[in-house]
Amino acid sequence: MTRFVTEQKTQQAVLKQGSTRLRLISGTSNPALSKEIASYLGLTDVPIISKRFADGELYIQIEQSIRGCDVFLIQPTCAPVNDSLMELMIMVDACKRASARQITAVIPYFGYARADRKTAGRESITAKLTANLLVESGVDRVLAMDLHSAQIQGYFDIPCDHIYGSPVLVDYLSSKDLGEVVVVSPDVGGVARARAFAKQMNDAPLAIIDKRRAVHNIAESLTVIGEVANKTAILIDDMIDTGGTITAGAQLLRKEGAKKIFACASHPVFSPPSYERLSDDGLFEQVIVTNSIPVPEKQRFPQLKVLSVANMLGEAIWRIHEESSVSSMFRQ
């Protein structure tokens, strides 16, 4: 089982002695996650003024000195994605003008990640454009979690640390009596992710759903490659958006005789009509996600389980600040 190594007691002792120049600043996308990260590190967020002018323009002012500090800006670029991204870049600019020593953008969810390549003529590669914008805004480093594809890490012309939410998901599932497990990729593109997850689940067998997509956000599942009958199927993906892919896969697994079905994803994007699809009684035992994106109360349903990645992000932030290894957080 993969776990991440923490040094929380040492960190908090050092931080409380005031011997560090580490500063956290939260955007408005996910302040609850920022508070959890700050609590793990024994810090409080740097206060900022964030408001809008009458015409919708954003205004940011940092309310205390960050001169010479290592500043970590915590802002998933989730919906409304354009506002979240622009707010992040304005915070970066404010930090640079306040003479921060180093600025790291902590992006638990990276918006526009699905536009990572050209699939038709005259398309933009918006994931690369977004990376360029962040670099040009003045970010020195990026900490991201579960990017949609591994190649996005290379889109940044600055250091980019890429961590995964799978240890949190695996630890939770391992605490449950699941019986015989099979890990299922909802499409061929997610096979590498599902294979890595299956290895963490005590080398569980792997199955793949062969799927054809006609248009964006509408998926048609065709067949299952692998044995799922009388097993607990764990559908794993990086995100759940409209829920079309994951629910179509679950329906097919039911037809193929799966005993129980769990859906797992790091990012609960949850665009309509995801609520109606995911809350379908009897389809999922649980839908397990992380708090990389906040889930409003109106989008929560009985089968939903939200796990926190705050400690893992906090540990990564500490290691970046201390210039120690981030990858060594994880061990087999």
Q: Which of 176, 211, 298, 305 is catalytic?
A: 211
Q: What is the largest CA-CA distance in the chain?
A: 61
Q: Compute the distance between CA of residue 278 and CA of residue 293 in angstroms, rounded to an integer.
A: 17
| Interior/surface letters 242-267, b for 16+ CB within 10 angstroms, e for the rest | bbbbbbbbbebbeebebbbbbbbbbb
8 Å CB contact between 316 and 326: yes
Give the pairing of strands 48-52 and 58-62: antiparallel
8 Å CB contact between 220 and 212: yes
If you ran DSSP here, which 8-state letter would residue 45 be given?
P
Amino acid at 100: A
8 Å CB contact between 240 and 267: yes
Coil, helix or strand at residue 195: helix
Amino acid at 45: D
Of residues 217, 231, 236, 233, the one with CA closest to residue 289: 236
Query: Which token pair is 331?
Result: 């061990």
Q: Compute the distance between CA of residue 208 and CA of residue 195 in angstroms, rounded to an integer.
A: 10
**Residue 211 is among the residues annotated as catalytic for this protein:** yes
Catalytic residues: 211
